[in-house]
Chains A and B, each alone.
Chain A
Amino acid sequence: MQRRRNSLSFSAGLMRVQFILCALLMCSTGHAEDVVTGNFELIDHQGQAVTEHSFDGKLRLVFFGYTSCPDVCPTTLFEVARVMRQLGDEARQIQPIFISVDPENDTPERLASYVAAFHPALVGLTGTRQQLDAVAASFNVTYGIEQASGSDSGPGTVFHSSYLFLMDRQGAFLDVFGYGSKAGVIEARLREYL
């Protein structure tokens, strides 16, 4: 279910393919109550294959981004780390997860050093483009590469949704926080499920 492309082409053939994909997408998308299913098959920052069931038993805070992100990712992960510290021993019931949508640059090794800078419990995940397309659809988020304006555009920059998801102990959706949500707000909501 590919929802983004690195460059737009409007040749007739591609348009037809895209139209079919869109039609499939429309048929397969549910209503508001079940837009977030939260399924994934990815690899973690240690190179191990994981799914949403790998973290069963723990509440999860899930965020999408990339390690070169200059502002939104580090500030959100900083708030997540603050939540973990504020929860003390109860933080053991929480699994913070960072899913990189930039697999070309975010290798497991790079992810490992990145997540460790925020909190020891933070897990970094990534995968192939196909896997990331599937997890993005599963969480109803978007991501892609934005080409710079102008004819001599460079490699482009990554963009992604900036929601922070709270999932239950089996990986089902509980709540979502917008960018800029403070640790106190997130912690208060989390405590309702501890």
Chain B
Amino acid sequence: MKTISAFAIGLFLSLLISSTAFARYDDGARYAFVASASNKSIFIIDLQERSLAYTIELTKAPSSIVVSDRLKALVVGHAADDSLTLIDLSSAELTQIAYPLDLTPSTIEMSPVGETVAIFDKEAGRLEVHAFHRRAVLLSADNVQTESQFTFSSDGAMIFWVDDGNGTFNAVDLWSKRQSVELAKPWSGLSAVSRSIDGRVAFISEASAGVVHMIDLSTFSPLLKVHVGNRPGRPWGTTDGRYMLVPNNGDRTLTAISTASGATAYTVPTVDHPLFINPGWLDSTAATVGESGDVAFIDIDDGSVTHRYELEGAALDGIVTSDSRTLAIPVPEKGAMVFFDMRSRTRLSSIPGLPLDIGPAVLAISNNLCH
């Protein structure tokens, strides 16, 4: 009897161990990822259980990460030696593949279709777009000053960037031609570019003038110049496409622009130095998170601030789950991931015990729109 019990326990344990070893983390709706340079690790956060699911050990310090649901891969940038590591999230071993670069990956951004990646070298002001499946560089561009100054088109076939030094908005079809639109005098402060969710209109912030330029992406012609607050940053689109939400870094406000009319719906006070804006709960609410860790929830339709919170330290870019209900914000000072319920706008439990240098959170599926 004792032998059978020992056998049964051994079998159970071996099944448990093997199931853990063969856990896969390619469920784009369930897992978020944060990197720690000091630990040379990627932490996989289970958004369903709100727990730390697994830690991927790396041989080099990560400086940035993105994830592709289509490739089932995590792309890790290493600024120290100008390289990437591609991690196969669908493999049992989480296979790592080295990918050398000719520039420093200060920032990497995955295209919406998840097959190409924009790599930005901040010191050199250089932007490259790589297609992993071809191991090819599709685009190289210079004179890009910040990571807020470029974005992909909604189908991933084009990349847009603003060149503040020349005062231009540029668009390149990754497979053929280039368009350029003069927007402002050189060094006027073209600070950021975004596009509408439907891909038809680009929104470019001109920080020094307090305006957002709207460009028709089918004709590459200027549509409107919308006056917003002081020193506008990167506009964020609601996923229902109705509004572009513009954080005004100079006066702690947020301006909502109607994408249909170009009219300003409202400008409301929010948080100090807005870091990012996360629309959620079926686009009824938006969380604005400031650098210092203050969080304000806004009713998107009328701009009223309904709830305010203060995190225990500075915040980094967070994510909203694909069902639009849960907001997760990394707080490096506390080594924690903090969660909020977007529907009730209430704070949930946190995951403590993460390293004190965790980076922004990334998610494979964060856009609730099918193209």
Contact = CB atoms under 8 A, between A and B. Distances in A.
Contacts of A71: 370
A139 B218 CA distance: 29
B59 interface: no
A26 B240 contact: no
A178 B260 contact: no
Interface of B: 27-30, 48, 69, 153-155, 157-158, 171, 173, 197-201, 216-219, 223-224, 239-242, 258, 260-263, 265, 281-285, 299, 301-302, 321-325, 343-345, 364-365, 368-371
A182 to B, nearest CB: 7
A22 B173 contact: no
B218 A153 contact: yes
What is the interface of chain B mostly: helix, strand, loop, or mixed? loop
Contacts of B262: 10, 15
B371 A35 contact: no
A85 B365 CA distance: 26
Contacts of B302: 26
B241 A157 contact: no
Interface stretch (A44-52, A123-131, A160-168): A160-168
B368 A162 contact: yes
A69 B110 CA distance: 22
Contacts of B171: 149
Contact of B322 (A4, A65, A147, A178): A178
B282 A35 contact: yes
A35 B284 contact: yes
A141 interface: yes
Among A32, A142, A153, A182, the one with the most B-chain Cβ atoms within 10 Å of its Cβ is A32
A4 to B, nearest CB: 7
Classify chain A's interface size.
Answer: 35 or more
What is the interface of chain A mostly: helix, strand, loop, or mixed? loop
Contacts of A72: 370
A181 B323 contact: yes
A73 interface: yes
Contacts of B263: 15, 19, 22
Given A19-B263, A26-B302, A149-B218, A159 B198 contact: yes
B283 A140 contact: yes
A70 B371 CA distance: 9
Nearest to B283: A140
A150 B179 CA distance: 10
A21 interface: yes
A148 B155 CA distance: 9
B66 to A, nearest CB: 17
B368 A150 contact: no
